Amino acid sequence: MFYREAGQFKTNYAADQQIFPLLQDRIGIAIVLALGFLVVPALAADYWFSAILTPFLVFSLAAIGLNILTGYAGQLSLGTAAFMAVGAFAAYNFVLRLPGLPHVVSFLLAGVCAALVGMAFGLPSLRIKGFYLAVATLAAQFFVVWALQKFPWFTNNSASGVISAQPVHVLGLALDSPRRNYLFVLTIVSVLALLAKNLARSNTGRQWMAVRDMDVAAEVIGIPLLRTKLLAFAVSSFYCGVAGALYAFCYIGTVEPEAFSLDMSFRVLFMVIIGGAGTILGSFVGAAFFVVLPIFLSIAIPAAAQLLHLPFNKASVTYIEYMSFGALIIFFLIVEPHGLARLWQITKEKLRLWPFPH
Amino acid sequence: MQFFLEVLIGGLLSGVMYSLVALGFVLIYKASGVFNFAQGAMVYFAALSFVGILGLGVPFGLAVLLAFGAMVVLGVATERFVLRKLVNQPPISLFMATIGLAFFLEGLGPFLWGNETREVKLGIADEPIAILLERYNLSVSQFDLMAALVCGVLVAALALFFQHTRIGRALRAVADDHQAALSVGIPLQTIWMIVWAVAGFVALVAGLLWGARNGVSASLVLVVLKALPVLILGGFTSVPGAIVGGLIVGSTEKLAEVYLGHYVGGGIEGWFPYVLALLFLLVRPEGLFGEKHIDRV
């Protein structure tokens, strides 16, 4: 009864085309943003910012990137971490070698670098799809990490291959506390997420979905496959690249190329699938799930073992974590194959009538 | 020339090991259309179970049987609790489920049997064959040759199994067309169980050989990454493709490492097979022996 479109008439084109056409949605987004920008910074402790909130936002951004490629354009990719690595190391080099450049611009340029690399590795998608393409994107994963390790120029001749991200300044403010880092990441993620949301319902987004649903039909109605697919790779890699730069500069601080391993690619893919492919909301939900889950397991398992008076050691806790992780993934795939974002869809439909039965 | 031959033979023989892992993939992909990323974890789990059972004082042969039994149980459980629940889901969901399974096995194996790196002794020494070394001055590892032999026997046995048994025929029917197979009365779920059990057996053999080579440790899971370019080269649905693909990948990666590696600083073994597979895909998207009906984009 409270969440329905009845009575909201659009009288001009601008109102008709806005990203969130429902008043309730706009209020909801405003509340979420207010929570994120005002309430959380006022209440949360530093641990929350550095261990949960910042990684959550960074991985949300990466998941949005992969979601554009896999969820919207239907091209399965296992090279997400490689594109994040390109972003991280490109940002490092931009900041290092072009000192006058504002840091935000460096991050965006890093995203552009990642987009170029992404397009190069997206070329095979013109010939192959599905699992063949997924394996092909693995080439990006291994090649990029290898190149970053082998050519010392990328890491500024660091002996160990580890880079320490420089301190970031934005508009004259130093990002020297977890809280400021969080606010900076939140700003970038909010802007980019809104852009992605808008892009997904634009001409481009619809072309992506047409290609995803049936590429031959898409081509027949005049969608240029080459351009559309490469654009999906470029935009997706741009998001991943920016996420990688934020990962290095605002979350971890010191990064080595191996940090962007295949494991991370899979993690981001899990976020997309569990959260819900083809929804921006799903990227956030999935990222939240996979950032919180390991922390929850590492607390819950020893507690449960103590409760049941089972002998446990550190190693077996790790293995139980692995097992629970795997089992939970399978569980969610079985009970909610369309992702957690689907639960929100169902809730919305229920809310139209609530509290009345019909 | 001699050096070239030695590298080539070494590469071919290590390629056989890749084929073994790829074989398990192909079996499952053919019969159920599932891209089983857990194959590497199955190799690890099989090897760990074998070493663990052996550690309890069980004789070698019985340990192999028991480990095989464990893989059968695993296959049946996978079918019962994962595949059957995910019928009619898009392939990506099944793929994700196998990644989940891989995580699960990577936890379960060391949880049951401990995580320290252990050796598998098969009674074959990893040393050069004396005759070849003396007469032609070629260094060819006895162990590698034995592994190649085992692989050959395994493939032959699988081929016979597929061609000449009732179950084999049913398997091929299911691989051809699920619906048609169902409608002539082939029990799909039983077939899937059998396929997973056979893939488990292949994983056990691969696990024993790889374990004897490099020791049984968590890094065994990574052999799956070696098998993927093999699959692309050979085609996802072809058993001979897995073998030939393995040989090509094994030999070219060693040759490339030796002859091209020093131009770019070495260590190219990790990605060279992938780039090779990529280039190959541009020419022939269905792989060497893959089915032609793959969708061309």
Contacts of A269 (CB under 8 A, 6+ apart): A66, A70, A77, A78, A80, B96
**Residues of A (130-189) whose Cβ lies below 8 Å from B:** 130-132, 134-136, 138-139, 142-143, 146, 149-151
Residue A127 has pLDDT above 80, yes or no: no
Residue A235 has pLDDT above 90, yes or no: yes
DSSP character string of A213-237: H-HHHHHHTT--HHHHHHHHHHHHH
Cross-chain CB nearest to A337 (options B93, B111, B225):
B93
Q: Other CB atoms closer than 10 Å to residue B166's CB: what's the count?
A: 7
pLDDT at A69: 92
**b/e map of A212-247 (b: 16 or more CB within 10 Å)?**
beebeebbeeebebeebbbbbbbbbbbbbbbbbbbb
Under an 8 A CB cutoff, do A337 and B86 touch? yes
Cross-chain CB nearest to B107 (options A130, A277, A322):
A322
Under an 8 A CB cutoff, do A125 and B285 touch? no
pLDDT at B73: 93
Contacts of A1 (CB under 8 A, 6+ apart): A352, A353, A354, A355, A356
Residue type, A353: L
The rounded percent of chain A whose pLDDT value lies above 70 is 99
Cross-chain CB nearest to A135 (options B82, B104, B232):
B232
The mean per-residue pLDDT over the stretch B83-99 comes to: 84
Q: What is the pTM of this model?
A: 0.88
pLDDT at A146: 86
Tell me what the pLDDT averaged over chain A comes to.
87
Under an 8 A CB cutoff, do B108 and A319 touch? yes
Q: What is the pLDDT of residues B193-206, one digit of tens each?
A: 888 898 999 999 98
* CA-to-CA dists, residue B47 to A137, A318, A337, B219, B242, angstroms: 29, 20, 33, 12, 21
Sign for the pseudo-dihedral over CA of A245, A247, A252, A257: negative
Chain A residue nearest residue B227, CA to CA: A135
Nearest CA distance, A95 vs chain B (angstrom): 27
- Angstrom distance (rounded) from CA A57 to CA A276: 17
Chain B residue nearest residue A138, CA to CA: B274
A279/B280: higher pLDDT: A279
DSSP A168: P
pLDDT at A118: 93
* CA-to-CA dists, residue B10 to A113, B222, B224, B260, angstroms: 39, 20, 20, 17
Q: Which residues of A touch B267 (CB under 8 A)?
A: 146, 149-150
- Whether complex ipTM tops 0.95: no
DSSP B289: S
pLDDT at A117: 94
Q: Which residues of A touch B236 (CB under 8 A)?
A: 131-132
B283 token code pair: 């020419």
A337 touches chain B (CB under 8 A): yes
pLDDT band at A166 (very low <50, low <70, confident <90, very high): confident
The mean per-residue pLDDT over the stretch A29-50 comes to: 87
A333 touches chain B (CB under 8 A): yes
- Angstrom distance (rounded) from CA A83 to CA A69: 13
- Angstrom distance (rounded) from CA B171 to CA B167: 6
Chain A residue nearest residue B236, CA to CA: A132
pLDDT at B72: 92
A273 touches chain B (CB under 8 A): yes
Chain A residue nearest residue B218, CA to CA: A319
Give the residue from B94, B274, B280, B282 with the most A CB atoms within 10 Å of its CB, the best one to mutate: B274
Q: Report strand pairing: A169-170 vs A173-174.
A: antiparallel
Say which residue the tokens 């001699």 belong to. B2
pLDDT at B86: 85
Instruction: Go through the domains of chain A in sequence order and give each one's CATH number.
Output: 44-353 (1.10.3470)
A226 touches chain B (CB under 8 A): no
Chain A residue nearest residue B278, CA to CA: A136
A312 touches chain B (CB under 8 A): no
Nearest CA distance, A215 vs chain B (angstrom): 7
Cross-chain CB nearest to B271 (options A146, A320, A324):
A146
Under an 8 A CB cutoff, do B99 and A135 touch? no
Nearest CA distance, B94 vs chain A (angstrom): 8
Q: What is the pLDDT of residues B106-158, one digit of tens each?
A: 889 888 887 777 777 766 666 666 666 666 666 677 777 888 888 888 888 88
Residue B297 has pLDDT above 60, yes or no: no
Residue type, B97: A
pLDDT at A205: 94
CB contacts < 8 A, A to B, total 137
Residue A10 has pLDDT above 50, yes or no: yes
**Residues of A (65-104) whose Cβ lies below 8 Å from B:** 70, 76
The mean per-residue pLDDT over the stretch B229-256 comes to: 84
pLDDT band at B252 (very low <50, low <70, confident <90, very high): confident
The mean per-residue pLDDT over the stretch B162-170 comes to: 85
CB distance A256 to A162 below 8 Å: yes
Give the residue from A70, A121, A127 with the most B CB atoms within 10 Å of its CB, the best one to mutate: A127
Under an 8 A CB cutoff, do A327 and B282 touch? no
Chain B residue nearest residue A127, CA to CA: B297
Nearest 5°: the CA angle B185, B190, B191 is: 80
The mean per-residue pLDDT over the stretch A2-12 comes to: 83
Q: What is the pLDDT of residues A318-347, one digit of tens each?
A: 788 888 888 988 988 888 888 888 888 888
- Angstrom distance (rounded) from CA A304 to CA B6: 56
Under an 8 A CB cutoff, do A270 and B278 touch? no
Cross-chain CB nearest to A76 (options B92, B107, B271):
B92
Cross-chain CB nearest to B282 (options A124, A318, A323):
A124
Residue A116 has pLDDT above 90, yes or no: yes
CB distance B26 to B231 below 8 Å: yes
pLDDT at A112: 95
* CA-to-CA dists, residue A198 to A71, A134, A186, A201, A223, angstroms: 15, 27, 18, 6, 20
pLDDT band at B4 (very low <50, low <70, confident <90, very high): confident
Say which residue the tokens 């695993």 belong to. B74
Say which residue the tokens 């996802």 belong to. B236
* CA-to-CA dists, residue B124 to B66, B127, B129, B168, angstroms: 22, 9, 11, 32
Nearest CA distance, A93 vs chain B (angstrom): 21
Under an 8 A CB cutoff, do A143 and B271 touch? yes
CB distance A114 to A86 below 8 Å: yes
The mean per-residue pLDDT over the stretch A97-111 comes to: 89
Q: Is A153 helix (H, G, I), strand (E, B) or coil?
A: coil
Cross-chain CB nearest to B275 (options A70, A143, A316):
A143
Q: Which residues of A touch B232 (CB under 8 A)?
A: 132, 135-136
CB distance B144 to B124 below 8 Å: no
Residue B296 has pLDDT above 50, yes or no: no
Under an 8 A CB cutoff, do B92 and A128 touch? no
A173 token code pair: 């403010």
A319 touches chain B (CB under 8 A): yes
pLDDT at A230: 93
Name the residue among B125, B159, B124, B146 with its Cα closest to residue B243. Answer: B159
A128 touches chain B (CB under 8 A): yes
The mean per-residue pLDDT over the stretch B57-75 comes to: 89
Nearest CA distance, B104 vs chain A (angstrom): 4
CB distance A350 to A344 below 8 Å: no
- Which residues face B118 on adjacent strands? B216
Under an 8 A CB cutoff, do A135 and B101 touch? no
Name the residue among B71, B130, B115 with its Cα closest to residue B217. Answer: B115
A281/B151: higher pLDDT: A281
Nearest CA distance, B165 vs chain A (angstrom): 31
Under an 8 A CB cutoff, do A262 and B102 touch? no
The mean per-residue pLDDT over the stretch A250-268 comes to: 87
Residue A255 has pLDDT above 90, yes or no: no
pLDDT band at A23 (very low <50, low <70, confident <90, very high): confident
